Amino acid sequence: MMDYTIPKKSGASFHIDEGESFEVTNPEGEQIADLVAFNRHNVSEKYSQAYTRHMNNKLRISTGDSLYTTEGNPILTITSDDTGVHDIMYGPCNEWMLTDIFPDEPGGCRENLYLAAKPEGIEEEDVPNTLNVFQKSMVKGEDQELELGRSPADPGDAVEFEANQDAIVAVSACSAAGEPNGDELTSIGLKVPDYTTLHGASIQNEHNH
């Protein structure tokens, strides 16, 4: 396996073969990672938030639960999970959303995921709503209002996924500054099989393990 660091406010993509595993890690804690996945042989089949909620019959997924595609097929399964808190309700932050709040900090997760996956032939409009790894979301009150809380991820927390089909996976270190991401934006780590190549110009610090 190879370890990589995705610096803050950027993304990376890679291939994963059916039956193989990878990890998303939280080096400094409290940092959200946005994740999407595509069938490598037919990228129109991709991760679906809606079908993942439907097939698991829950709003929070963890060990043993699968991510499902637009065709209703499992594409990734969580096999190990240190945090146990991830979001499948919110879409990724994007540039228009962030510039409304942080005018001097453009570039959201949707754009970063697209730039990372572009070498695989993914178009920006193909990027689906995300699995928001380490993100705490809550449904509160009689009106069922959505609320974001501070990520509970501790430094070093990891989530392991096993591929249910040959896939393209893209991951970003969330760009939305604020309490859900802790006191400051930080990096996200990846541990991927040796055979794969990561796309993402700002990837740093690779090590053999």
Q: Write out pLDDT tens, residues 33-42.
A: 999 999 999 9
- The tokens describing 15, both together, are 């291939």
Structural contact between residues 20 and 100, judged by C-beta atoms closer than 8 angstroms:
no
Q: In this predicted model, what pLDDT tens digit does every residue of 111-162 receive, in sequence order?
A: 999 999 999 999 999 999 999 999 999 988 888 888 889 999 999 999 999 9
Put residue 44 in one of left, alpha, beta given phi > 0 → left and psi -120 to 50 → alpha.
alpha
What percentage of the chain carries pLDDT values higher than 70? 89
Which tokens go with 101? 């709040």
Q: Which of 78, 42, 6 is nearest to 167 (CA)?
A: 42
Confidence class for position 107, pLDDT limits 50, 70, 90: low
Cα–Cα distance measured from residue 209 to residue 201, given in angstroms and rounded to the nearest whole number: 22
Where b means 16+ CB within 10 Å and e means fewer, 116-128 reads: bbeebebeeebbb
φ/ψ of 179, rounded to 5, equals -55, -40
DSSP E strands: which ranges in 17-133? 21-26, 33-39, 66-68, 74-81, 131-133
Mean pLDDT of 68-83: 98
Question: pTM of the full predicted structure?
Answer: 0.92
What is the spatial distance between Cα 209 and Cα 128, in angstroms, rounded to a whole number?
Answer: 32
